[in-house]
Structure 1
Amino acid sequence: MRRIPDSGKMAARKNRLQGTRMTQERRKAFQEYFSPEALRKVFIDKIKSKPSIGIDGTSASAFESSIRSETESCSRKIKSYKFKFSPYLEEVKSKGKNKLPRVISKPTIRDKTLLSSANKCLQSYYPDAINKKLPNEIIREIKESLKNSNEDLFFCKIDIKSFYDHINHEILLKKLSRTVDKKTLWLISNAIKNITVSASTKRKFYPTENSLGVPQGLPISNILSDIYLHRIDKKFESVNYRRYVDDILIIASKETSKITKDIKNLLYKIKLETNEKTEEGQISGGLEYLGYNFLGNDKVSVRDSSRDKFTASLIAPITRYKKGQDKSIGTTWLTIETRKNILIEHLNEKITGAISEKKRFGWIFYFIEITDLKILYDLDAIIKRELKKAHLTPAEISRVKRLSRAYHEAKHNPEGGYIHNYDTYKTTQEKISALRRFGYLDPNASAAYAPEHIDALFERLKSNQLLQLERDIGTMY
């Protein structure tokens, strides 16, 4: 007679099979993301065109010249638990008046490549934990929910205090250990414990390790923060709950004090605190979130401070032109006429934003969800006034694009030609034309340029311009 296994043995066998399958998947994950071939692909796809030099001073081109040996060494050392990160280079970024600056940690090219691969690995483990929504997507959802309501809704804003700096290593690693393979877990642990130092710090004064918080600026920083808060995000997803990094917003038909208390208690359990001032009220009294200002259920504008910062950013190049302070862009060929043309090119890109690799950059794209269009006409008038003060002619001023039109183009026809699109530059001659317009090459020179030189210079132009567009929106929230 055939013996039928009891339910306990069947369950044990099922668990063993699941364990074996999980082990195989984890081994596969290492091969997929940390093999020399995988690391080289990440460098080519992600790092090469957007390099940032770390503490060792190695450029992307220098790393690429020895990429085979570097990636083979990295992969081998991770596999044997012997890999060591170089210290991150400290970069301090201002967050505006009366705010503590943000400390950014810049890894070396080698480590950035490795951490970018670790980011891809974490995404495969946590596909549901990643908060991929851009600020204007979140704003669009809020706008729609307010528009569809006949009530004067209540809101509560919670700001997590120094979020990245207070992520607890033990809690984070315990969360990761339930899902992530041992080698990736070990690598993540080393990455978050790695020190950040300024370029002037002598080696003998280096701290031992970072014992609290996730360094900002790493390819894994955002996904680790999302994993850390994933259970809270999931718990409240059925209510009108939104979170962007450390800014939480709840909108409800009644007072939000109960939900607010629950969220704060859960944050406290994972050793996070909130800033003392929690904003609560009704939408009719105004709600500011992520740089936007909701004025009732149907009017969406720009927060005053966000508008003022952008206005200053628009006026700055005009002021530099008037004072002749932009001569550092080029050399003796920078005539008054050339400088005017360069000013107009830079202003136009600030006004319209830009497209690169199908991604959209700039102020107008960030604030695409506003309904208060008067603010755009007001900014157009300010630009025109400042250009008149700089003695540009009516014909020259007419070449400057308008925010009021850029808004409509960005919303309905972003690739129609009004907005600067770096993806349209295909040939060396097209890139030379752009470099001349932006002041990177003498517009009157007839010298022949090597294609690789033009490609490198064009990438520098694009990187510098897109960085400036990111700075225009970098302190909106």
Structure 2
Amino acid sequence: MNELEQLFEMNFISDIYETKIRNKSGRGIDRMSVIDFDRKKEVHFSTIARKCCSGTYKFSLYLQRLILKGPHSKPRSISIPTVRYKIVLKILNIILQNYFPDCVKRELPNVKVRNLASQISSHDNALYLHRLDIKSYYDNINIEKLCSILTGSNIPPAILALIRGAITTQSVQSGHHKSDLHNIIPTNGVPQGLPISNMLAEIYRGFKFKVQHPVLGYWRLLKKLHRVS
């Protein structure tokens, strides 16, 4: 049994569903609730296992939710996957964490602040704090560069294909018509709100902000990047 077959094995899929998804609400574009999904969960699990292992699994559309940020700002677009998509995306996130353990966020923001203050106070030499306010970061992630980074980590091609399919799937608002799908303008970047969104953003950030000069470290708090040198 290879890595793909192990991760998309029926028992593991069931465990992800029971522990990570079943107790959470939220419906995707198919409007299927967890209660509805639960009635035929074994059928859904089998479909996920079969299609992911055979390389035929496809993402169709995400449900788009717009969150207003202010009168002078564009709304934030959140992509809501279906229950079945959530299972696949959760497993993909586990895979990404295994291949990029340094990109897993384990510290809360307040802990990061304390660590930053501690590191600064422990140095006798002059230090410089650089703060970047990152706007539309997710929207401007270069998909091809991101996939190149993932390829360089030796992620199996079948898993990479699933990740690419997940982040290139479009989001539409509720009540859309199939006849309108050809009018959807493909978007750049990584959709926000998916189980893999934050992990991919961290992976891309780690390679995008190359160290040109000796630095004490990088800290990302919310959408602001802090560098101490």
Shorter-chain TM-score: what band?
Answer: 0.7 to 0.9
Question: What is the deviation of 1:152?
Answer: 7.9
**Bigger-Rg structure (1/2):** 1
C-alpha contact 1:60 1:109 (8 A) present in aligned 2: yes
What is the identity, as a one-letter code, of the residue corresponding to 2:172? V
Distance 1:107 1:175, change over 3 A: same
CA–CA separation in structure 2 for the residues paired with 1:43 and 1:115: 11
**Equivalent residues in 2 for 1:59-208, closer than 5 Å:** 59-148=33-122, 154-178=128-152, 179-207=154-182
Task: Kindly tell me the number of residue pairs found equivalent between the two proteins.
Answer: 226
Q: Which residue of 2 aligns with 1:247?
A: 224
Question: Which structure would you say has the larger RCO, counting Cα contacts within 8 Å and 6 or more residues apart?
Answer: 2
Question: What is the deviation of 1:154?
Answer: 3.6
| Structure with higher helix content | 1
Q: Which residue of 2 aligns with 1:227?
A: 203
Give secondary structure in 2 for the equivalent of 1:206: helix
Give secondary structure in 2 for the equivalent of 1:90: strand
C-alpha contact 1:29 1:121 (8 A) present in aligned 2: no
Structure 1 alignment gaps of length 5 or more: 1-26, 253-477
C-alpha contact 1:54 1:89 (8 A) present in aligned 2: yes
The match for 1:215 among 170, 178, 191 is 191
CA deviation vs aligned residue, 1:186-222 (integer Å, no higher than 9, x gap): 1011101111000022121125674521000000001
Question: What is the deviation of 1:234?
Answer: 7.4
CA–CA separation in structure 2 for the residues paired with 1:77 and 1:160: 38
Question: What is the deviation of 1:29?
Answer: 2.3
C-alpha contact 2:5 2:53 (8 A) present in aligned 1: no
Distance 1:217 1:202, change over 3 A: same
CA–CA separation in structure 2 for the residues paired with 1:154 and 1:133: 23
CA–CA separation in structure 2 for the residues paired with 1:51 and 1:124: 27
What is the identity, as a one-letter code, of the residue corresponding to 1:46? K
Question: What is the deviation of 1:78?
Answer: 1.7
CA–CA separation in structure 1 for the residues paired with 2:150 and 2:2: 18
Using structure 1 for the length normalisation, give the TM-score.
Answer: 0.44
CA–CA separation in structure 2 for the residues paired with 1:103 and 1:133: 26
C-alpha contact 1:177 1:185 (8 A) present in aligned 2: yes
C-alpha contact 1:115 1:218 (8 A) present in aligned 2: yes
What is the identity, as a one-letter code, of the residue corresponding to 2:158? K
Give secondary structure in 2 for the equivalent of 1:113: helix
Q: Which residue of 2 aligns with 1:49?
A: 23
CA deviation vs aligned residue, 1:213-257 (integer Å, no higher than 9, x gap): 1000000001111111223567478524312354211234xxxxx
Give secondary structure in 2 for the equivalent of 1:31: helix
C-alpha contact 2:215 2:227 (8 A) present in aligned 1: no
What is the identity, as a one-letter code, of the residue corresponding to 2:201? S
C-alpha contact 2:170 2:187 (8 A) present in aligned 1: no
Give secondary structure in 1 for the equivalent of 2:27: coil
Question: What is the deviation of 1:84?
Answer: 1.8
C-alpha contact 1:87 1:194 (8 A) present in aligned 2: yes
CA deviation vs aligned residue, 1:352-401 (integer Å, no higher than 9, x gap): xxxxxxxxxxxxxxxxxxxxxxxxxxxxxxxxxxxxxxxxxxxxxxxxxx
Question: What is the deviation of 1:131?
Answer: 3.1
Q: Which residue of 2 aligns with 1:19?
A: none
CA deviation vs aligned residue, 1:293-316 (integer Å, no higher than 9, x gap): xxxxxxxxxxxxxxxxxxxxxxxx
What is the identity, as a one-letter code, of the residue corresponding to 1:239? L
Give secondary structure in 1 for the equivalent of 2:101: coil
Distance 1:119 1:48, change over 3 A: same
C-alpha contact 1:89 1:107 (8 A) present in aligned 2: yes
Question: What is the deviation of 1:42?
Answer: 0.5
Using structure 2 for the length normalisation, give the TM-score.
Answer: 0.88
Q: Which residue of 2 aligns with 1:260?
A: none
C-alpha contact 2:92 2:196 (8 A) present in aligned 1: yes
CA deviation vs aligned residue, 1:134-172 (integer Å, no higher than 9, x gap): 211211112323444678854221123311001111111
Question: What is the deviation of 1:83?
Answer: 1.4
CA–CA separation in structure 2 for the residues paired with 1:239 and 1:146: 9
**Equivalent residues in 2 for 1:330-349, closer than 5 Å:** none
CA RMSD after TM alignment: 2.4
Structure 2 alignment gaps of length 5 or more: none
C-alpha contact 1:192 1:214 (8 A) present in aligned 2: yes
CA deviation vs aligned residue, 1:83-104 (integer Å, no higher than 9, x gap): 1223100111122453322110
